[in-house]
Amino acid sequence: MISLGDWANMNENERISALNEVELLEANNQNREPAEIISQDMPSYKGGSYDYNTNTIKINSDFISNEEPYDALKSYYHESRHAYQHEQANNPSEANDPELAQEWKENLKPENYITPDQNPDKHYDQPVEVDARNYATSRMYEYNDSQGVSFSAQTRMTNAEQGSDPPAVSNDNSISQ
C-alpha cells in the first residue's frame, strides 16, 4: 500500500501523483483499467465524481489541499468503487458476482440513476451509492491499519456527522458521492 504519511509536506501535484499510485494498485486488484485522478474545484459538500466516459476520478480540490489525506482518500475510494461498478456492470456474465453486477447495471442506467438534485435521500440509498460508501469505509479502515495512520478526531467527527459521505451534485457522465 502507498504511504500518504508525508501528505502534509506534499504539494498538490505530489498529492495527485500519490493518489494516482494508489489507483494503479486499486485498479490492478480490481482487474480494470486505472482511471486518471484529477483535482477539481467543487462545492464544499461534494467529495468527488467518476466520469465513466473519460475514466476520470475527480476529487474536490479542497480535499486535496487539506493537511490530512482522509477526505481525499475516502473520496477516492468511493469514486474508484464506481469505476469498478461500471466495469462489472458492463460485463455482468464475467463479473465476480453476476447478480450484483446486473443490479448495478440497472441502477446505472441513465433513466434509473437518481442524482442528488433529483432526490438526495433516494440518491443516497440506491445500490451503487450504498456499495461505494461501504467500500470506501472498509478501505479506510484497512488503510489506517496498514499504515498506522491516526486521523484527527475532528476529521472523524466531521465525517461521522455527515453520515460517512456528504451528498453531491452530479451530471449525466458522473457518479458522485
Strand order in the sheet with 36-40: 36-40, 56-60, 48-51, 174-176
- Compute the distance between CA of residue 158 and CA of residue 161 in angstroms, rounded to an integer: 5
DSSP states of 52-66: TTTTEEEEEHHHHHS
∠ CA(73), CA(13), CA(174), 5° rounding?
50
What is the domain partition of the chain in residue ranges? 7-176
Res. 82: pLDDT tops 60: yes
Statement: residue 128 has pLDDT above 80: yes
pLDDT of residue 93: 85
What mean pLDDT do residues 133-148 have?
84
Most confident among 39-48, 65-74, 75-84, 92-101 (mean pLDDT): 75-84
Tell whether pTM > 0.85: no
